[in-house]
Amino acid sequence: MQMIHIRVLRHSAFYSPLLATMSAGFLEAEGLEVEYSVVDAEHPLEDGLRDGTVHVAQAAPATSFAYLERGETPPYVHFARINDRDGFFLAARQPEPDFNWSQLPGKRVLVDHLFQPAAMFRYVLRQQEIDPGTIDIIDAGDVTAMDRAFRNGEGDYIHQQGPAPQQLEHDGIGHVVASVGEQIGPVAFSSLCATPQWLQTDMAGAFMRAYRRAQQHVIETPAEQLAREEQHFFPGIDPEVLMQTLAAYQALDCWQSSPDIPRPSYETLLDVFEADGQISRRHPYEDVITAPPA
């Protein structure tokens, strides 16, 4: 068995097409043994890809914009989509079956402040003709700190990726009232990236065969079975919550059978970052994205 090193910017059920390469045995079937890790201060994404200790990474295509804005060539290319939607939900303290985004001005909202989720959240507000400045947007820290703050009574709403808000609902602390992805529609939200050199290797071809099978698997497999396969990745999440989260992402249509990152989805990503003032120009598709290996 050959060892493949995969590092992710975030660990979530949202990235099930990648998780399924491991949990459903597709990598093993290609003769690949996996080492899976999450980015932290000691294990950044870029360094691992540059020095070869990481082969494949999960990140947003938008991570390349910072390099391009500085006039630099990104150290990696994005070659396959994971999600074709934003995967964040908005949860309230009480059930709000008739929730409308116009209710948010004047409210205290714990918002995920990582550059892309925050930009997407503000984009939805502007779509709804809401000035983000009219909302008390709270930075409570990382995802763990955010969740803890809301559980301790801070904020009226919280903006989280699944399965965190579904777990809040299960625990009787929050209630999912809206989906950011449903509002924005198709967008190049998260992808797989690697160095151009690695994409020419036999390992890349083997990985891609496994990944294509995993993409189809998460679309066609009932959420209950997916949850059983992935449960070991989420030991702190109730099995029923994980199943509900996976079903919600399937219903959102955020997973697609083709790995190609569509140009229209990339153009929407540019719209989001242009509206948020985070890019000075619309960076060409070819500067960020390449075709998946054969």
pLDDT of residue 56: 98
Q: How far is CA 113 from CA 103, 109, 121, 138, 142, in A?
A: 21, 11, 10, 9, 8
The mean pLDDT value for 163-181 works out to 96
- Mean pLDDT (the chain) is 96
The DSSP string of 36-81 is EEE-BTTB-HHHHHHHTS-SEEEE-TTHHHHHHHTT---SSEEEEE
Q: How far is CA 257 from the centre of its chain?
A: 17
Beta-bridge partner residues of 191: 59, 81
The mean pLDDT value for 165-176 works out to 96
Q: What is the pLDDT of residues 70-100, one digit of tens each?
A: 999 999 999 999 999 999 999 999 999 999 9
Domains assigned to the chain: 2-85+187-287 (3.40.190.10), 88-184 (3.40.190.10)
Q: What is the pLDDT of residues 8-42, one digit of tens each?
A: 999 999 999 999 999 999 999 999 999 999 998 88
Q: What is the pLDDT of residues 97-148, one digit of tens each?
A: 999 999 999 999 999 999 999 999 999 999 999 999 999 999 999 999 999 9
pLDDT band of residue 43 (cuts 50, 70, 90) is confident
pLDDT of residue 287: 98
Q: What is the pLDDT of residues 143-169, one digit of tens each?
A: 999 999 999 999 999 999 999 999 999
